[in-house]
Amino acid sequence: MLKSHRQNKNLDSLIHLLKKGDKIAYETLFRVYYDKLLHIAKGYLGTIEDAEEVVQNVFLKVWERRENFNKIVNLNNYLYTMTKNACFDRLKHEKVKNSFSKKYYQEKKAIQYQFMMDETASSILEKELEKRINIAIEALPEKCKNVFIKSRVEGMNHSEIAKVLDVSKRTVDNHISNALKHMRLHLKEFLTLFL
């Protein structure tokens, strides 16, 4: 239960950084989710080219709408739903544009149904992101990690942490600041810049 609570706090931290326009957080999200969303989109659309275009548009919308992330309850489901809806829109557009034969359109609908039922694909996305964030936390120096967990996982404020650990609030502030910088650097090692 503590692990699940910690993972939710980690995802909350990532969402918080995204809302503030943090490019490293955005790149982390892109690198963790891109291949999985591409797999899902290809299942709906049938071609890698169409899937790539849809997923790139999804990430563009994520960046454009990042300030509204406080409304997101589950980031994994949000991205999965955005991708699924974008695929449906594309299929509808293709149906009108190309006047699909009845048989071809039924095959597309069968693929859509299969992927809507694929709960496993959705849970893989969330687990992968949680794993990457947990690795970053484990890489923190022990004192920083302790302060960071008390802040982000246990929900304590800086004054409470200072009192419990018998250190100054300034020391806690410094640990939190260093922890966030360290995590960004650690996560950046997993990225290949795409800009």
Q: What is the mean pLDDT of the chain?
A: 76
Q: End-to-end alpha-carbon separation of the chain, Å?
A: 38
Task: Provide the CATH topology of domain 2-138.
Answer: Rna Polymerase Sigma Factor; Chain: A (1.10.1740)
Q: CA 25, 26, 32 angle in degrees (round to 5)?
A: 90
Residue range 92-133, pLDDT digits in tens: 776 655 554 566 666 666 666 666 555 565 666 567 667 777
Q: What is the mean pLDDT of residues 129-140?
A: 79
Statement: residue 18 has pLDDT above 80: no
Better-predicted residue by pLDDT, 109 or 60? 60
28 token code pair: 């982390």
Do 2-138 and 141-195 share a fold?
Answer: no
| Secondary structure class of 151 (helix, strand, coil) | helix
Better-predicted residue by pLDDT, 173 or 192? 173
Looking at residue 2, its pLDDT comes to 41
Residue range 63-84, pLDDT digits in tens: 888 777 766 667 778 888 888 8
Q: How far apart are CA 73 and CA 76, in angstroms?
A: 9
Show me where the domains of the chain are located: 2-138, 141-195
Which one is the CATH code of 141-195: 3.40.50, 1.10.10, 1.10.3470, 1.20.1070? 1.10.10
